[in-house]
């Protein structure tokens, strides 16, 4: 690993961090922490392995540390409550403002998998290696995440606790 | 048509993760399941919209802090933190290296401080020098005690004043040798001693104290290193070791006494 290789990965690290975290400053802070940790763990870098996967994995671990730190109280979301039967939207053009807001409402673990695949275009195996989870978990989080995002965008989940009443 | 198409397979179809055979089967299946096709199209639209929303980040100019963080640090931080003297030296290095070129990208204020303003107090200089060189097993000194005459001549010439290591054998400390070091504005000398247990002690001699008044013994603690220091005319002395304060005081008294006799 050298500075030039690291510099080449920076734009993608920033793009992913921005999509994952939302806030620009917080995202760049996460990237900076990732770079610092990468240098400090240079001894664990195996030459010839995929630098990008390694960096994304470092960022993922930092993000987990961040999330574990007590901050504002989070309201647990009942994931299944989102899965209401909805009529498919006829328009496949997604408004970008809506997308950013909808993305922020996804559980972090679904958002991470969805972004690594849809935005970063990693293979399922690369995502599994990056996040340190089994391939099956990658696939289930991906399909839940995409479906979840679709329903949020369809606007049928104004209240996360909404249930169908017969 | 074999197994039914699962949700995961629908996604895998989209992401190109299916075998060609299964891919063909899913294509056929989709023809008979328009609601699945609509969802698939929506997922494609998600992907396309994510790129529209976030790809502009790729073209943003990189923030300077990130450019700097991508450069290799002088030493890797992991190596740095493992050193026992890192704690003491940290402040010193932030001041010096930060001023020299901004090692820590976030310390912008530090980075703009002119280097001339950085003057490190004697006990701290001595403690850092002690912490850096005393753990060195192979090359703790530049000239060993066996060539004491050479050591004295060389250091005296470089410092511009006669310097000679005191003999501390009565206290159980034997001279290992000495070295020349950079001080705040010129050369300083360091003599190193050890006792039978391998405990090391260093005497730091600086000649940079013109204009300052003499002082009595002063004590400072820099992390794990205890330091006794005093100023005598142009000379500043600092005795550093990782030994208890009262033990170190005895050595300091002896060093001071020997220097007085000269």
Are B80 and B86 a contacting pair, CB within 8 Å? yes
Chain region(s) in chain A for CATH 1.10.1740.10: 3-68
Helix ranges (H only) for chain A are 3-21, 24-40, 51-68, 79-82, 96-105, 108-114, 124-131, 135-153
Which of B10, B241, B228, B2 lies closest to B122 in space, CA to CA?
A: B228
* pLDDT, tens digit, 9 for 90 and up, residues A51-102: 999 999 999 999 998 888 765 444 444 444 444 433 444 444 678 888 999 9
Average pLDDT over residues A109-122: 96
d(CA B123, CA B129): 10
B127 exposure class (CB count in 10 Å sphere: 0-12, 13-18, 19+): buried
Average pLDDT over residues A134-145: 96
Could you tell me which residues are beta bridge partners of residue B188? B181, B206
Architecture of domain A3-68: Orthogonal Bundle (1.10)
Are A81 and A163 a contacting pair, CB within 8 Å? yes
Q: Are strands B218-222 and B174-182 parallel, antiparallel or unpaired?
A: unpaired
Cβ neighbors of B24 (< 8 A, separation 6 or more) are none
* pLDDT at position B34: 92
Chain region(s) in chain A for CATH 1.10.10.10: 79-153
* pLDDT at position A112: 96
Q: Which of A39, A114, A123 sits opposite B72 (nearest CB)?
A: A39
* pLDDT, tens digit, 9 for 90 and up, residues A15-51: 999 999 988 999 999 999 999 999 988 888 888 888 9
| Both tokens assigned to B113 | 């401080």
Selected residue of B43, B44, B55, B103 to mutate for chain A interface (largest A Cβ count, 10 A): B43
CATH number of this structure's domain A79-153: 1.10.10.10
Q: Cβ contact (<8 Å) for B66 and A35? A: yes
d(CA B117, CA B121): 12
d(CA B24, CA B27): 5
Are B222 and B127 a contacting pair, CB within 8 Å? yes
d(CA B55, CA A163): 36
Report phi then psi at B90, rounded to 5: -55, -50
Which of B207, B205, B213, B212 lies closest to B161 in space, CA to CA?
A: B207
B222 exposure class (CB count in 10 Å sphere: 0-12, 13-18, 19+): buried
For chain B, give percent helix, strand, coil, nearest 5: 50, 20, 35
* pLDDT at position B113: 41
* pLDDT at position B15: 95
* pLDDT at position B218: 87
Q: Per-residue pLDDT tens, chain B, 262 aa: give them.
A: 567 899 999 999 999 999 999 999 999 999 999 999 999 999 999 999 999 999 999 999 999 999 989 988 764 444 444 455 555 555 554 444 444 444 444 444 444 444 444 578 888 889 888 988 888 877 889 889 988 888 999 899 888 888 899 999 999 999 999 999 988 888 899 999 999 888 899 999 998 776 567 778 888 888 888 999 988 888 899 999 999 988 999 999 999 988 888 7
Lowest mean per-residue pLDDT among A26-30, A106-110, A156-160, B135-139: A156-160
Cβ contacts of B17 on chain A, cutoff 8 Å? 123-124
d(CA B240, CA B122): 11
Chain region(s) in chain B for CATH 3.30.200.100: 121-261
Selected residue of B48, B54, B73, B78 to mutate for chain A interface (largest A Cβ count, 10 A): B54
**Chain B, nearest residue to A87 by Cα:** B35
* pLDDT at position A98: 86
A37 exposure class (CB count in 10 Å sphere: 0-12, 13-18, 19+): middle
d(CA B23, CA B9): 9
Which of A131, A96, A105 lies closest to A116 in space, CA to CA?
A: A131
Report phi then psi at A95, rounded to 5: -70, 130
Are A122 and B17 a contacting pair, CB within 8 Å? no
Is the pLDDT at A115 greater than 50? The verdict is yes
* pLDDT at position B89: 55
* pLDDT, tens digit, 9 for 90 and up, residues B7-58: 999 999 999 999 999 999 999 999 999 999 999 999 999 999 999 999 999 9
CATH number of this structure's domain B121-261: 3.30.200.100
Are B188 and B205 a contacting pair, CB within 8 Å? yes
> B16 — alpha (psi -120 to 50), left (phi > 0) or beta?
left
* pLDDT at position B123: 87
Are B125 and B184 a contacting pair, CB within 8 Å? yes
Report phi then psi at B166, rounded to 5: -65, 160
- List the 60-99 stretch of B: residues with Cβ below 8 A of A: 60, 62-63, 65-67, 69-73, 76-78, 81
Report phi then psi at B209, rounded to 5: -105, 25
* pLDDT at position B85: 54
b or e along B223-258 (b: 16 or more beta carbons within 10 Å of the residue's beta carbon)? bebbbbbbbeeebbbbbbbbbeeeebeebbebbbee
d(CA A9, CA B213): 57
- List the 77-116 stretch of A: residues with Cβ below 8 A of B: 88-89, 92-94, 96, 99-100, 103, 114-115
């Amino acid at each position: 690993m050298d500075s030039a290789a690291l510099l080449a990965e920076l734009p993608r690290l920033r793009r992913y961090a921005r999509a994952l975290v939302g806030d620009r400053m917080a995202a760049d802070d996460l990237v900076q922490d990732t770079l610092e940790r990468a240098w400090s763990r240079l001894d664990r870098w195996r030459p010839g392995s995929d630098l990008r996967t390694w960096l994304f994995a470092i960022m993922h671990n930092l993000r987990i540390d961040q999330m574990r730190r007590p901050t504002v109280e989070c309201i647990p979301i009942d994931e299944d409550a989102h899965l209401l039967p909805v009529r498919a939207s006829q328009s496949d053009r997604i408004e970008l403002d809506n997308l950013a807001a909808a993305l922020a409402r996804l559980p972090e673990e679904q958002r991470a998998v969805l972004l690594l695949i849809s935005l970063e275009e990693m293979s399922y195996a690369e995502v599994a290696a990056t996040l340190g989870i089994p391939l099956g978990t990658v696939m289930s989080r991906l399909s839940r995440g995409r479906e979840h995002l679709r329903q949020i965008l369809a606007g049928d989940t104004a209240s996360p606790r909404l249930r169908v009443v017969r | 048509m074999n197994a039914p198409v699962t949700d995961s397979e629908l996604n895998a179809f989209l992401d190109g993760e299916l075998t060609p055979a299964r891919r063909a089967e899913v294509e056929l299946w989709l023809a008979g399941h328009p609601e699945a096709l609509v969802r698939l199209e929506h997922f494609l639209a998600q992907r396309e919209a994510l790129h529209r929303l976030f790809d502009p980040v790729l073209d943003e100019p990189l923030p300077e802090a990130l450019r700097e963080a991508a450069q290799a640090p002088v030493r890797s931080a992991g190596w740095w933190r493992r050193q026992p003297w890192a704690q003491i030296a940290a402040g010193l290095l932030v001041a010096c290296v930060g001023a020299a070129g901004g090692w820590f990208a976030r310390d912008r204020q530090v980075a703009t401080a002119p280097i001339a303003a950085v003057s490190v107090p004697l006990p701290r200089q001595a403690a850092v020098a002690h912490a850096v060189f005393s753990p060195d097993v192979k090359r703790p000194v530049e000239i060993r005690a066996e060539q004491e005459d050479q050591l004295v001549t060389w250091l005296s010439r470089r410092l511009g004043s006669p310097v000679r290591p005191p003999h501390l054998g009565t206290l159980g400390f034997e001279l290992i040798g000495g070295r020349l070091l950079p001080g705040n504005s010129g050369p300083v000398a360091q003599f190193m001693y050890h006792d039978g247990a391998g405990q090391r002690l260093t005497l730091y001699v600086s000649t940079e104290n013109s204009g300052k008044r003499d002082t009595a013994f002063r004590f400072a603690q820099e992390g794990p290193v205890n330091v006794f220091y005093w100023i005598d005319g142009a000379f500043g002395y600092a005795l550093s070791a990782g030994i208890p304060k009262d033990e170190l005081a005895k050595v300091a008294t002896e060093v001071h006494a020997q220097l007085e006799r000269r």
